[in-house]
Amino acid sequence: MAKNFKRWPEQWPKSLNYPERPVHCFLDDTAERVPNRIAIHFGGMVLTYSELKTLVDRFATALHGLGVEKGQRFAIHLPNMPQFAIAYYAVMKLGAVFTPLNPLLSPREVTYQLNDSGAETLLSLDLLYPGIQSVIPDTPVKRVISTSIGDCYNGVIAPLKPLGKLPVPDTLDMVELIKNHQPTPPEVKIDVYKDLAHLAYTGGTTGVSKGVMLTHRNVVCNTVQFGCWFNGAQIEVRNNRVELIYPEGVDPVKDRPVARDRETALVVVPWFHAMGTVGYLNNMVSSGTTMVVFPRFDPVEYIEGVNKFSATTLGGAPQLYVPLVNMPGFEKYDLSGVKLIASGAAPLPLTVLDAMRQSFSKSVVIEAYGMTECAMGATANPPIAAMTRVGSVGMPVFDTELKVVDVNTGEDLPPGSEGEICIRGPQVMAGYWQKPEATAETLKDGWLYSGDIGREDEDGYFFITDRKKDMIIYKGYNVYPREIEELLFTHPAVEMCAVIGKPDAQGGEIPVAFVQLKKGIEAAADALIAHVNAQVAAYKKLREVIFVDMVPVSAAGKVLKRELRDRLTA
């Protein structure tokens, strides 16, 4: 079935010219184009793009001297902070492979990932490393480099910051390495089609994490796809520089939602996550955006940052927006300067989306969809208010195709039919690291089988219904948890919820909801069950509600349904 361009944004190119360049060129280009533009704000620290590139080159020189070479895996175990960006681009410049470690991983999980990836170098935070230090001898790691949030503060501002630098014995100090080396890294020849840039691990919400192999080509294409989706430009490489080309008569500032080298974004999406690395690091750097970087999410600090830094774009998972719209006094903030708000990584409840549209009345609020296996993203709503479709994750971005297949037969389904979403495009992974069988199950005839259930409408917009593995089968009927979750979100007492299947001798599985109530509001389980069951067919009825203080979510904002299933079986 051919791609549906019926509602494609007018004057947007239908295909892009992708630069055949490695990932680190995003930073090199921007530092040359706008050297004095601010790249990063972090707790009072400011770095321009020129300064960021110099620090990257110094660190790359240091790493080369330590023996970090092309193809070696380099693990970064940090929250969002300038050192993360410095290390990431230094690794890219050397042709080494970036493998991110979620700071929330347990020592057991860190051991698994370091062993599976074969990482020989680890960069960790002084506050985090003691928690995993004991397992490092059980891994291939040959050298550990440490850094501190305290390294970002000079002597004058340090008294205002609660975090000082902690000693980390038996590690190399990142600041000393940068200070003691010149910005003269070697030139490494990189085959963008074959050489890996990322070995990013899946979230593990449904099982053991798998290493996703992403080439430089995968990462560059996905970065450009989403950058041009928001600015509506074509790409051309002229005199070794990436230029944005617009149709005649188009003013990039007035006629597009965002413009290169002009925007400011609040960045709290973790860079160790696929959405963070591609969407909120590479995309920001390639577009010359000023990044206001937060190491953790605090609703008040975040929303006050909008006016403090004159932010024009926001982005993140639903877990970012739910506490914002429920925050006392949220409606009093002036958010008129925000032009674009993006949500991804998990479904955005419709009630939250409605509240966001009311509060951010002058913003375009869009949902997008993707997964680690396609670098970051595959679809997005057009960044034009009149073209966004409520409840939809939008349409496939440039040079990307989606199809819906029957979950049992694999046959292609027509618009309106629900089935498994499959993705094809230049951003789709090379495969799973050292797992040929898992790769063969997921990549078939050039298509990535996502494991997500959804449908396409007549206009080419896609809707994600649920995860295939989350689907509940009750007496042979398919019950999609998201439908029940959306109904629970319409109850005024519900802050967060998750619905899973509970084994049942008669029905096979029955829907059970874990519910987190809003602060200061009470509700009875029977009332929530009645609220849902009055609006669904008999086979979809909610059978039980379990109240929890907090619905568990991953750092990327995805509900950890595996943990909830473990609670039920326990």
Q: Is residue 557 part of a domain?
A: yes
8 A C-beta contact, residue 399 and residue 235? no
In this structure, of 111-115, 125-129, 142-146, 475-479, the range with the lowest mean pLDDT score is: 475-479
**CATH number for the domain including 562?**
3.30.300.30
Tell whether 425 is covered by a domain.
no
Q: What is the pLDDT of residue 207?
A: 53
The CATH number linked to 142 is: 3.40.50.980
Mean pLDDT along residues 327-343: 87
Domain boundary among 168, 189, 210: 189
Longest dimension (CA), the chain: 70
Residue 486 lies in a domain: yes
Indicate if the pLDDT at residue 263 is higher than 60. Answer: yes
What percent of the chain lies above the pLDDT cut of 70?
A: 97
Report which of residues 135 and 569 the model is more confident about.
135
Per-residue pLDDT tens for 373-423?
A: 999 999 999 999 999 998 899 999 999 999 999 988 999 999 999 999 999
Confidence of residue 504 (pLDDT cuts 50, 70, 90): confident
Question: Of 136, 156, 189, which residue sits at a domain end?
Answer: 189
| Residue 484: inside a domain | yes
Min mean pLDDT across 59-68, 329-338, 348-357, 481-490 is at 348-357
Predicted pLDDT at 526 = 95
Residue 241 resides in a domain: no
Of 273, 120, 103, the residue nearest 202 (C-alpha)? 273
Lowest-confidence segment of 57-71, 197-211, 249-263, 518-532 by average pLDDT: 197-211
CA dist 356 and 197 (Å) reads 36
Does residue 100 form part of some domain?
Answer: yes
- State residue 397's pLDDT score: 98
Place of tokens 């009825």: 541
pLDDT (0 to 100) of residue 556:
64
Domain with 148 in it: 47-189
Instruction: Give which of 405, 437, 432, 410 is closest to 421, Cα–Cα.
Output: 405
Residue 205 confidence class, pLDDT cut points 50, 70, 90: very low
Percent of the chain whose pLDDT exceeds 90:
72
Residue 89 within any structural domain of the chain: yes
Q: What is the pLDDT of residues 70-88, one digit of tens each?
A: 999 999 999 999 999 999 9
391: left (phi over 0), alpha (psi -120 to 50) or beta: left
* Residue 325 confidence (pLDDT) above 90: no
Does 206 or 341 have the greater pLDDT score? 341
Q: Which amino acid type is present at position 90?
A: A
Rounded Cα–Cα distance for residues 342 and 328 (Å):
23
Measured distance CA(463)–CA(394) in Å, rounded: 8
> What was the pLDDT predicted at 203?
61
What distance in Å separates the CA atoms of residue 326 and residue 319, rounded to the nearest whole number?
Answer: 11
Question: Count of domains in the chain?
Answer: 2
**pLDDT attached to residue 206:** 46
HEC profile of 340-385: EEEECCCCCCHHHHHHHHHHCCCCEEEEEECCHHHCCCCEECCCCH
Q: What is the mean pLDDT of the chain?
A: 92
Q: Is a pLDDT exceeding 60 seen at residue 204?
A: no
Q: pLDDT tens, 145-186?
A: 999 999 998 878 878 777 778 899 999 999 999 999 999 999
423: tokens are 């993705």
Average pLDDT value for residue range 14-36:
97
pTM: 0.86
Q: What is the spatial distance between Cα 144 and Cα 320, in angstroms, rounded to a whole number?
A: 32
460 within a domain of the structure (yes/no): no
208 pLDDT above the threshold of 70 = no
pLDDT beyond 60 at 306: yes
Q: Which of 152, 172, 189 is the last residue of a domain?
A: 189
Give the mean pLDDT of 442-449. Answer: 96
What is the average per-residue pLDDT within 216-240? 95
